[in-house]
Amino acid sequence: MCNLIMEEKGLNITSCINNYVENVRSSLKIRWNKWDKNLIEHSTYEVIGGILARQCSLAIQLSTNLQMWNEEIAPIILRTMADNHINLAWILVNPKEHSEKFIIHGLGQLKLDLEHRKNNLDETMKGEIEEYIEREEQFINSQKYTFLTEVNLGSWSGLNTRKMAEEAGIIDFYNYVYQPFSNCTHSTWAHISKYNTDLSKNPLHKFFRHPIIIDFEPHINYLNLAGKYLDKSMREFDRVFKLNINEDSAFDILLKELNELSSEKNN
């Protein structure tokens, strides 16, 4: 349960957020249960189901943490959601082949990490690290034997993110969401100059920029964006697999409840 109060609006949105979280969990469960599965090709279902679960988890974490609703933190989460949505959309173009690529690359990355750790064992923590390595190898082997796992140092899809978005027909999403939020994620000057520096008020300093730390106020728009991106992923999944989902989306219900709460406050 969360307790969220939007001070600038005088609104306690706790019940709206708690309902949203429950509706998100329910929407994932409904889709998973309605999705006809072929257990012989289980990788497709594991990957797509896992990506949807991560999208739900990210939306829940952002929605229940008011202190993240600002220009410094929210774009990092939203950029991850954008990345996740592009991955999903591209995988849905060819679910079986693209899901297998996703798994092979992921397990390969785990194996690469293990090899690095084996080659750099700290003698003072050798026992603890060896236990960790053994657990990770067991996890990899539960899906695919370690010696068969490929290591791919490039993009898991063989394409850059922009090309994936183009092939999935969502290049506008890439241009207007993924790319702008990347500035915050990668701490580029485009972000830092706006939110971590300010012009000196002394005219003798010749417009010298000095470092600042902003005390951000939460903006509910970031909650709206997280809900919107999750809703996009759910709708894309429903479109491809032609699921008959009769329930209102968690996002639509959230918007309705927030609008009703705002109307009550103004009356």
What ranges do the domains of the chain cover? Answer: 5-93+168-185+217-266, 99-163
Instruction: Read off the pLDDT of residues 182-198 as tens digits, 9 standing for 90 and up.
Output: 999 999 999 999 999 99
Q: Which of 202, 190, 171 is nearest to 75 (CA)?
A: 190
Question: pLDDT tens digits, residue range 200-246?
Answer: 887 777 778 999 999 999 999 999 999 999 999 999 999 999 998 98
For 113-168, the pLDDT digits (tens) are 888 888 877 777 777 888 888 898 888 888 864 545 566 666 778 889 999 999 99
Residue 54, C-beta contacts closer than 8 angstroms, at least 6 positions apart: 84
Q: Residues 53-70: what's their mean pLDDT?
A: 97
CB 23 within 8 A of CB 257: no
What global pTM score does this model have?
0.87
- Measure the CA–CA gap between 36 and 45, rounded to whole angstroms: 10
